[in-house]
Amino acid sequence: MVARTARAQLTIAAGNPGLATGGSGDVLSGLVGAALAHGLASETAAALGAHALGRGADLGVRRVSARALRPMDVIAALPDLWREWEVRRMAPPPPRPPILFELPRPLTV
């Protein structure tokens, strides 16, 4: 018997019915495989691949309808997704609200 540790479940809030077509799983496995080849942990690679597939499908639907979406449309949308992620990564953090006085962090919790 193997003891399993409890892990947080992830939900990907991206994608659309256009992914319910042959070849979408191949795109997903390619994205996950590429993330694994870059050294990401398996859980992180799976989450990244699923999110990239869903967001790529969401961007692809803007060009064609969900009914007409094919795996190549998702792949064609990936450069737009990479640019979107890079813009978000490079964006400055949102401004913090003005703080009049900040207490020091407690030494013990």
What are the pLDDT digits (tens) for 27-41?
Answer: 999 999 999 999 999
Q: Which domain holds residue 67?
A: 42-80
Output Rg (C-alpha) for the chain, integer angstroms: 19
Q: Quick one: pLDDT at residue 5?
A: 66
**Has residue 6 been placed in a domain?**
no
Is 45 in contact with 10 (CB distance < 8 Å)? no
Q: Quick one: pLDDT at residue 95?
A: 86
**Has residue 65 been placed in a domain?**
yes
**Has residue 56 been placed in a domain?**
yes
**Has residue 86 been placed in a domain?**
no
**Has residue 46 been placed in a domain?**
yes
Query: What domain count does the chain have?
Result: 1
For 9, 33, 66, 101, the CA distances from 27, given in Å and listed in that order, are 22, 10, 17, 51
| Model confidence, pTM | 0.78
**pLDDT, the chain, mean:** 91
Q: Quick one: pLDDT at residue 1?
A: 54
